[in-house]
Amino acid sequence: MTISKELLDELLKGCERPEDLLGNNGLMKELKIKLMERMLGAELTAHLGYEDGKEAPPDQVNRRNGSSAKRLKGQDGELPIAVPRDRDGSF
């Protein structure tokens, strides 16, 4: 996968200081959070067998059930993420 120059320009728009990119509220931290949440959502989709926003298969009794707030601790501090849930708690 290649990240286009246009995408990078869009992401970096408004980043004027190093803190805007690497700070506690910077782009890198936001990207980590959004990527983690996207991966968890994809895992739940694989677990349940249907896409978010679509109808569940008729034989599927388990459903999406919102999300829970969690904090991941890493070498660059805490990351607040939303972890998706399912109704029977098997995810």
Hey, where are the domains in the chain? Answer: 18-86
Q: Which residues contact 67 (CB under 8 A, 6 or more apart)?
A: 82, 83, 84, 85
User: How far separated are the first and last CA of the chain, in Å rounded?
Assistant: 29
Whether the predicted pLDDT of 4 surpasses 80: yes
Asked whether 39 and 59 are in contact (CB, 8 A), the reply is no
pLDDT tens-place string over residues 19-67: 999 988 899 999 999 999 999 999 999 999 999 999 888 888 999 999 9
CA–CA separation, 39 vs 83, rounded Å? 10
pTM attached to this predicted model: 0.85
CA–CA separation, 77 vs 71, rounded Å? 10
Looking at residue 11, its pLDDT comes to 92
